[in-house]
Amino acid sequence: MAPIDSDDNTTAGEGEELRAGRRKAARYVVPVAVMGVAAATIGLVPALADSGDPDLPKVTAEQLIEKIAKSDVQQLSGTVRINTDLGLPDLGGLESGLMSGMSGGPGSGGDGEGSAADPSAKLTELVSGSHTLRVAADGPDRQKLSLLENAAEYSLIHNGKDVWGYDSQSNEVYHSTAPDGAERPEKDVPGKDVPATPKDFADQALKSVDDTTSVTVGGTAQVAGRDAYRLVVEPKQKGSTVGAITVAVDAETGTPLKFTLTPASGGAAVVDVGFTKVSFAKPDASTFDFTPPEGAKVTEADESDAAAEAPEHGRPAEGDLAEGLDGLKVIGEGWNSIATFDTGAQGGLPTGSEGGDLGGLGGFLGSFGDQVKGDFGSGTVFKTRLVNALITDDGKVYAGAVTKDALVKAADAAQ
Amino acid sequence: MSRAEAQDDRVREPAVATPGGPDAARTPSPLWSLGLLRSELLTTFRRWRTLALLAVLAAVPILVGIAVKIETSDGSSLGGGGGGGGGAGPAFISQVSNNGLFLVFTALAATLPFFLPMAIGVVAGDAIAGESSAGTLRYLLVAPAGRSRLLLTKYATVIAFCLAATLVVAVSALAVGALLFPVGDLITISGTRITYAEGLGRALLIALVVAASLVGIAALGLFVSTLTGSGIAAMATTVGLLITVQILDQIPQLDALQPYFFSHYWLSFADVMREPVYWDDLVKNLGLQALYAAVFGSAAWARFTTKDITA
């Protein structure tokens, strides 16, 4: 039987095979065109949406820093994107394994369990990778920080006296009470020492501004749909691994909207924290309301601290390191300051056979480092994109946001 | 529901007729193609295999619900033992024992990665190729409907099945959740409290989002179905593609490509449970599904309208 006519329309006459063939081919143009349009849209729309840098009145760097300092934004809500790329090996699986071990895996049992909702444990996750946060603030007494995870969320809510941490994945709640609002309660919020918003980062950066630093205004930019000045902070000295720090400051309110730290070695930013959405309107009051859900496991801060202080077997190496930290000294100034301390571990890390406290670990770690020699003897340099550390064979540690050469020089000078 | 679908089809009608060209003389009345859709829907939903698929989907929330009930019957909370929730089990499962409504979200999170798209793959892969291998496709085309119209009707039927399958899971989970667990106000994953009624609204929204998430693989399955004359081959290919994409989506080295995999943003439906709702990924998901529907829908159209039908 002859095939049924292959088209909706029957007007195509006989003997027009060629035309029919062309028409057939022409139909496939449609999906290809759809794909082309989609690809063009994906490629071009971000470029077109970038409407160039806004025109703003000129300001000096001093005026801009003053603007940040004077900025008194009490009410704010928005979405923050954090990207960190320290160039550490990806230890994602290992890290989460350690975390669950620390907070009481099935094996550890008993009352010694930490809470999955403990802020300090949770917020250290921000140190690597890419994260989306939501922040909301209404005055000094009410703040909320939410870490958006896959089908789950970790919220840290400060409302008056109460600080709540809620981990929706495990349905666990962490609760602590801040002292009276009189004495800057946000200082007492656990985990507040972990910077999360562009402002936290900018404050840290501006603290280090001194005569070793050049601060300039690097034009304007548009961040989260708002006009902003770009404040560029660069180390004057040679030898720092920090290339530049750029802070985008909202032209209207003086709020830092975006913080970017680029390494001297070039490449992608080491830390990139910026609002993708921001609003200076008063957040809904219900945002800060929290009552623990039914059936959630609530950990009070006191209990949790006790649990944390309990000796944790299996981590003696860390304890030793902490002891070693007692002799911490800082040499150098400004961007080139190097922290140094003596671990007391004679023999250093790499020569695993000689033992020392970190012997076994050292042999393993040594494979990540570079061997260096100098007047100080020899040692191993561990590199990330921002912080480098030199561990000498006689057990001294030099670490800082400086290049390998600067570390060796510091070690030589210390002899 | 078939009425709503039919309405929808009628709205789309003029657009359908245009690609056919100058065949105004035999443009069927809208009512006629409404009849075509109705008969397609009836054929599809009366099939034993369709009913079996829906029964399997309905059983998933029952199993999950009973498992959670047994696990928590001694008063312990699920997943509370291990820090970080252990990362095991589908999303929201730790909240199920406190609020039955969460079983809806858990069940959808459990079925979305595999059960639901597999069911869609079977129905979509079967749509054209099944008719072809049963030898009924030419009889369908003898009717003065036109191929574009037939294809659209088939696609509308598959979409209707997406919606039906999702709703079966959701309604079954809702019923099981209400029977086994307490219901009442619930806590969003952002920690804020919403009323049960609003929770139900969000559950419905999530079900719609999940159904819409399946539009992409439905179009893909329909395209595969136009390529072959064997229904089994089309189903196997679609389900195989689904598994392949799911595996590729787990490989970190491919993260540049992953945002374009149809399954990449599937679990973004959970963002509906944030307060306020986080729309970014949801919008990306819906846009991606629309893109897949447009690309593979038009590819299926190009293939089907130019193909020699021999069976």
pLDDT tens figures, A136-186? 888 888 888 888 888 888 888 888 888 888 888 888 888 888 654 434 444
Chain B residues 152-171 with CB within 8 Å of chain A: none
| Percent of chain B residues past pLDDT 90, beyond the cut | 50
Classify the C-alpha dihedral B66-B70-B75-B77 as positive or negative.
negative
Assess whether pLDDT exceeds 80 at residue B56: yes
Residue A293 sits in the same domain as residue A327: no
In angstroms, the separation between the Cα of residue A88 and the nearest Cα of chain B is 16
Chain B residues 191-220 with CB within 8 Å of chain A: 191-193
To probe the interface with A, which of B306, B307, B308, B310 has the most A CB atoms within 10 Å? B306
Residue A305 sits in the same domain as residue A321: no
In angstroms, the separation between the Cα of residue A296 and the nearest Cα of chain B is 8
Determine contact: B14 vs chain A, CB below 8 A: no
Q: What is the pLDDT of residue A294?
A: 74
Whether residue A36 is contained in a domain is answered as yes
**In which domain, by residue range, is A407 found?**
316-414
Q: What is the pLDDT of residue B111?
A: 92
Give the pair of three-digit tokens for residue A136.
């909301």
- AA identity, residue B231: G
Question: A9 and B23 in contact (C-beta within 8 Å)?
Answer: yes
Phi-psi region of B94 (alpha: psi -120 to 50; beta: other; left: phi over 0): alpha
Answer yes or no: do A8 and B80 touch at CB < 8 A. no
CA-to-CA dists, residue A366 to A320, A348, A352, A369, angstroms: 18, 10, 9, 5
Q: What is the DSSP letter of B305?
A: H
**The overall pTM is greater than 0.90:** no
In angstroms, the separation between the Cα of residue B232 and the nearest Cα of chain A is 23
Whether residue A144 is contained in a domain is answered as yes
Determine contact: B75 vs chain A, CB below 8 A: no
Determine contact: B113 vs chain A, CB below 8 A: no
Whether residue A345 is contained in a domain is answered as yes
On the 0-12 / 13-18 / 19+ scale of CB atoms within 10 A, A47 is exposed
Question: B64 and B89 in contact (C-beta within 8 Å)?
Answer: no
Chain B residues 224-263 with CB within 8 Å of chain A: 252
- Of the given ranges (A269-278, A321-330, B111-120), which has the lowest mean pLDDT? A321-330
Assess whether pLDDT exceeds 70 at residue A109: no
Whether residue A1 is contained in a domain is answered as no
- Rounded to 5 degrees, φ, ψ at A99 are -60, -45
Question: B141 and B309 in contact (C-beta within 8 Å)?
Answer: yes
Residue A166 sits in the same domain as residue A291: yes
Q: Give dist(CA A101, CA A113) in Å, integer.
A: 10
Whether residue A237 is contained in a domain is answered as no
| Percent of chain A residues past pLDDT 70, beyond the cut | 68
At A268-308, the pLDDT tens digits run 888 888 898 888 888 888 888 888 877 778 888 765 454 44
Assess whether pLDDT exceeds 50 at residue A219: yes
Q: What is the pLDDT of residue B310?
A: 73
Question: B234 and B221 in contact (C-beta within 8 Å)?
Answer: yes
Nearest CB among A113, A114, A290 relative to B191 is that of A290
Residue A270 sits in the same domain as residue A181: yes
Q: Give dist(CA B19, CA B39) in Å, integer.
A: 24
Q: What is the DSSP letter of A219?
A: E
Whether residue A239 is contained in a domain is answered as no
Residue A163 sits in the same domain as residue A291: yes
Give the pair of three-digit tokens for residue B271.
């963002």
Q: What is the pLDDT of residue B77?
A: 53
- AA identity, residue A173: V
Nearest CB among A35, A114, A146 relative to B83 is that of A114
- Helix/strand/coil for A223: strand
The CATH number given to whatever domain includes residue A389 is 3.30.310
Question: A271 and A260 in contact (C-beta within 8 Å)?
Answer: yes
The residue ranking higher by pLDDT, B192 or A93, is: B192
Q: What is the pLDDT of residue B142?
A: 81
Q: Which residue is it, tokens 């911490």?
A: A328
Considering only CA atoms, which of B66, B160, B305 is closest in space to residue A8? B305
Q: How would DSSP label each residue in A163-216?
A: EEEEETTTTEEEEEE---TTS-GGGGSTTTTS--SHHHHHHHHHHT-STTEEEE
Residue A125 sits in the same domain as residue A37: no
Q: What is the pLDDT of residue A415?
A: 67
Q: Which residue of B has its CA nearest to A101?
A: B83
Whether residue A223 is contained in a domain is answered as no
Q: What is the pLDDT of residue A51?
A: 64
Question: B282 and B292 in contact (C-beta within 8 Å)?
Answer: no
Nearest CB among B84, B182, B301 relative to A100 is that of B84
Q: What is the pLDDT of residue B4?
A: 43
* Domain definitions of chain B by residue range: 30-69+90-306
Q: Give dist(CA B305, CA B310) in Å, integer.
A: 13
Chain A residues whose beta carbon lies within 8 Å of the beta carbon of residue B147: 6-8
Question: B219 and B297 in contact (C-beta within 8 Å)?
Answer: yes
Answer yes or no: do B294 and A152 touch at CB < 8 A. no
Q: Which residue of A has its CA nearest to B97?
A: A295
Assess whether pLDDT exceeds 80 at residue B193: yes
At B128-157, the pLDDT tens digits run 998 888 888 888 888 777 888 899 999 999
- Domain count for chain A, please give it: 3
- Rounded to 5 degrees, φ, ψ at B108 are -65, -40
Answer yes or no: do B85 and A169 touch at CB < 8 A. yes
Assess whether pLDDT exceeds 70 at residue A366: no
What's the average model confidence in pLDDT over B165-185? 93
Chain A residues whose beta carbon lies within 8 Å of the beta carbon of residue B189: 151-153, 168
Q: What is the pLDDT of residue B285?
A: 94
The residue ranking higher by pLDDT, B62 or A1, is: B62
Answer yes or no: do B191 and A166 touch at CB < 8 A. yes
Whether residue A160 is contained in a domain is answered as yes
CA-to-CA dists, residue B65 to A5, A23, B87, B217, angstroms: 53, 55, 19, 28
Q: Which residue of B has its CA nearest to A133?
A: B278
Residue A305 sits in the same domain as residue A320: no
Considering only CA atoms, which of B147, B39, B20, B37 is closest in space to residue A4? B147
- AA identity, residue B233: A
Answer yes or no: do B191 and A168 touch at CB < 8 A. yes
Residue A100 sits in the same domain as residue A46: no
CA-to-CA dists, residue A183 to A180, A187, A240, B73, angstroms: 7, 9, 37, 46
- Helix/strand/coil for A331: strand
User: pLDDT band for position A410 (50/70/90)?
Assistant: confident
Classify the C-alpha dihedral A19-A25-A29-A31 as positive or negative.
positive
Q: Provide the β-strand partners of residue A40.
A: none
User: pLDDT band for position A208 (50/70/90)?
Assistant: low
Q: What is the pLDDT of residue A195?
A: 66
Q: Give dist(CA A361, CA A355) in Å, integer.
A: 10
Determine contact: B37 vs chain A, CB below 8 A: no
At B197-222, the pLDDT tens digits run 999 999 999 999 999 999 999 999 99
Taking each helix axis from N to C end, the angle separating A17-49 and B279-306, rounded to the nearest 10 degrees, works out to 170
Answer yes or no: do A293 and B295 touch at CB < 8 A. no
At A329-339, the pLDDT tens digits run 777 777 778 88
User: pLDDT band for position A324 (50/70/90)?
Assistant: very low
Q: Give dist(CA A74, CA A281) in Å, integer.
A: 10
Give the pair of three-digit tokens for residue A163.
């600080």
Answer yes or no: do B308 and A6 touch at CB < 8 A. yes
The CATH number given to whatever domain includes residue A141 is 2.50.20
Assess whether pLDDT exceeds 70 at residue A49: no
Q: What is the CA radius of gyration of chain A?
A: 28
On the 0-12 / 13-18 / 19+ scale of CB atoms within 10 A, A167 is buried
Assess whether pLDDT exceeds 90 at residue B162: yes
| Cβ atoms < 10 Å from Cβ of A350 | 18
The residue ranking higher by pLDDT, A206 or B243, is: B243
- Of the given ranges (A114-118, A140-144, A376-380, A395-399), which has the lowest mean pLDDT? A114-118
Size of interface A-B (CB pairs under 8 A): 167
Taking each helix axis from N to C end, the angle separating B147-180 and B102-111, rounded to the nearest 10 degrees, works out to 140
Q: Which residue is it, tokens 């390191």?
A: A321
Query: For B225-246, b where at least 16 C-beta lie within 10 A, e where not — what string?
Result: bbbbbbbebbbbbbbebbeebb
The number of angstroms, rounded, from the C-alpha of A104 to the middle of its chain's C-alpha atoms is 25
Question: B23 and B186 in contact (C-beta within 8 Å)?
Answer: no
